[in-house]
Amino acid sequence: MISILIDRADIAKAKEKLGDEMAHIIAEELNIKDFDEKNLKGCCPFHSEDHASFIWNKKALCFRCFGACGRNYDIIDVFMYKGSTYIEAVQKLFELAKIPYAFGEHKLKTKRSYIYPKEVICDNKSKVYAYLEKRKISKQTADYLDIRQDEQGNCVFNYYDVNDVLTMVKYRPSRMIHKGENKNWCQRGADTSPLLFNMNRINPEQPLLICSGELDAAAAIEAGWTNSVSIPLGDQNLDFCRECYDWLEQFHEIIIAHDNDESGMKFYNSVNPMLGSWRCKVVKIPDHLEVDGKTVFVKDVNEYLFYTNKHTVLDAILSAEDSPVPSVVDLSSVEPTEYEDVDGVTFGLKALDEEIMRLFFGTLTIISGQPGAGKSSLLTQLMCNALDQGIKTWLFSGELPNGVEKSWFNYIFAGRRNVEKAVSRRGNEYFKIPTEARVAINKTYKDKWFIYRDDYDNDLDSLIQSMTDVVRKYGVRLLILDNFMTIDAEQDDNELRAQTNTIKKLIAFAKKYNTAVILVCHPRKTEKNNPNIGIYDIAGTSNIINLAHRTISLRRVTDDDRDNSAHLSEKRKLLLKYDVIVTIIKDRMFGRSNIDTGVFYDSESRRFYTTQEEFDKRYSWDTHTYNEPLISERIDDESEVIGNRITNTNGDERN
DSSP states of 110-167: --TT--PPPP---S--HHHHHHHHHTT--HHHHHHTT-EE-TTS-EEEEEE-TTS-EE
Average pLDDT estimate for 498-502:
85
> What are phi and psi for residue 49, nearest 5 degrees?
-160, 160
Q: Which amino acid, one-letter code, is at 139?
A: K
Give the number of residues written for the chain: 655
CA end-to-end distance (rounded Å), the chain:
59
Q: Which helix (H) or strand (E) holds 364?
A: strand 363-369
Neighbouring-strand partners of residue 465: none
Cβ distance 376 to 523 under 8 Å? no
Q: Which amino acid, one-letter code, is at 561?
A: D
Cβ distance 45 to 98 under 8 Å? no
- pLDDT single digits (tens) 394-414: 999 988 889 989 988 999 999
Cβ-proximal residues to 476 (8 Å cutoff; 6+ apart), any chain: 392, 393, 394, 450, 467, 470, 515
- pLDDT single digits (tens) 410-448: 999 999 999 888 877 887 877 888 899 999 999 999 999
> What are phi and psi for residue 508, nearest 5 degrees?
-60, -40
Q: Please classify residue 479 by burial: count the beta carbons closer than 10 Å to its beta carbon, then call 0-12 exposed, 13-18 middle and 19+ buried.
A: buried
pLDDT at 113 over 90: no
The rounded Cα 7 to chain-centroid distance in angstroms is 28
What is the rounded distance in angstroms from the CA atom of residue 199 to the CA atom of residue 197?
6
* CA distances to 134, 199, 563 from 529, in Å: 79, 66, 13
What is the rounded distance in angstroms from the CA atom of residue 159 to the CA atom of residue 344?
34
pLDDT at 145 over 50: yes
- pLDDT single digits (tens) 180-214: 888 999 999 999 999 999 999 999 999 999 999 99
Share of the chain above pLDDT 90, in %: 61
Neighbouring-strand partners of residue 430: 422
* CA distances to 430, 431, 434, 615 from 603, in Å: 11, 10, 17, 12
- Please write down the HEC assignment for all residues of 252-305: CCEEEECCCCHHHHHHHHHHHHHHCHHHEEECCCCCEEEECCEEEECCCHHHHH
What is the rounded distance in angstroms from the CA atom of residue 227 to the CA atom of residue 206?
7
Helix (H, G, I), strand (E, B) or coil at 481: strand
Tally of CB atoms within 10 A around 587: 19
> Lowest-confidence range among 157-166, 343-352, 631-640?
631-640
- pLDDT single digits (tens) 344-357: 999 999 989 999 99
CB pairs under 8 A, 24+ apart, for 406-411?
406/451, 408/376, 408/377, 408/380, 408/606, 409/380, 409/383, 409/384, 409/441, 409/449, 410/437, 410/438, 410/441, 411/605, 411/606
pLDDT at 649 over 70: no
Closest CA to 114 of 64, 62, 166: 166
Going by pLDDT thresholds of 50, 70 and 90, the confidence category of residue 655 is: very low
pLDDT at residue 642 in the model: 39
What is the rounded distance in angstroms from the CA atom of residue 426 to the CA atom of residue 259?
62
Give residue 293's region: left, alpha or beta (phi > 0; psi -120 to 50).
left
> Lowest-confidence range among 106-115, 119-128, 214-223, 397-406?
106-115
Does residue 529 or residue 309 have the better pLDDT? 309
Tally of CB atoms within 10 A around 120: 16
What is the rounded distance in angstroms from the CA atom of residue 472 to the CA atom of residue 468?
6
pLDDT at 255 over 80: yes
pLDDT at residue 645 in the model: 52
Cβ-proximal residues to 493 (8 Å cutoff; 6+ apart), any chain: none
Q: Please classify residue 135 by burial: count the beta carbons closer than 10 Å to its beta carbon, then call 0-12 exposed, 13-18 middle and 19+ buried.
A: middle
What is the rounded distance in angstroms from the CA atom of residue 615 to the CA atom of residue 234?
35
Cβ distance 87 to 79 under 8 Å? no
What is the rounded distance in angstroms from the CA atom of residue 447 to the CA atom of residue 128?
36
Per 3-state DSSP, what percentage of the chain is helix, strand, and coil (rounded to 5)? 35, 20, 45
Average pLDDT estimate for 12-31:
93
Cβ-proximal residues to 638 (8 Å cutoff; 6+ apart), any chain: 574
What is the rounded distance in angstroms from the CA atom of residue 71 to the CA atom of residue 121?
35
- pLDDT single digits (tens) 479-491: 999 888 888 876 6
What is the rounded distance in angstroms from the CA atom of residue 422 to the CA atom of residue 416?
14
What is the rounded distance in angstroms from the CA atom of residue 486 to the CA atom of residue 398?
5
pLDDT at residue 108 in the model: 65
User: What is the rounded radius of gyration, in angstroms, for the C-alpha atoms of the chain?
Assistant: 30
Instruction: Go through the domains of the chain in sequence order and give each one's CATH number.
Output: 8-96 (3.90.580.10), 126-322 (3.40.1360.10), 341-654 (3.40.50.300)
> Lowest-confidence range among 77-86, 102-111, 218-227, 416-425?
102-111
Ordered DSSP codes for 217-240: HHHHHHHT--SEEE-SS-TT--HH
pLDDT at 330 over 70: no
Mean pLDDT, the chain, integer: 87
pLDDT at residue 370 in the model: 82
Cβ distance 417 to 621 under 8 Å? no
Q: Please classify residue 159 by burial: count the beta carbons closer than 10 Å to its beta carbon, then call 0-12 exposed, 13-18 middle and 19+ buried.
A: buried
Going by pLDDT thresholds of 50, 70 and 90, the confidence category of residue 495 is: confident
> Lowest-confidence range among 73-82, 209-218, 646-655?
646-655
What is the rounded distance in angstroms from the CA atom of residue 370 to the CA atom of residue 400?
17
> Lowest-confidence range among 96-105, 167-176, 591-600?
96-105
Determine if the peptide bond prior to 483 is cis (ω within 30°): yes
pLDDT at 286 over 70: yes
Q: Where are the alpha helices (DSSP H) in 20-71?
A: 21-30
Does residue 194 or residue 9 have the better pLDDT? 194
- pLDDT single digits (tens) 528-568: 444 555 444 554 556 677 889 999 999 999 889 888 888 88
Closest CA to 242 of 253, 231, 252: 231
* CA distances to 160, 193, 417 from 248, in Å: 15, 16, 44
Tally of CB atoms within 10 A around 625: 4
Helix (H, G, I), strand (E, B) or coil at 484: helix
Average pLDDT estimate for 220-243:
94
Going by pLDDT thresholds of 50, 70 and 90, the confidence category of residue 242 is: very high
Closest CA to 80 of 217, 253, 227: 227
Average pLDDT estimate for 104-120:
78
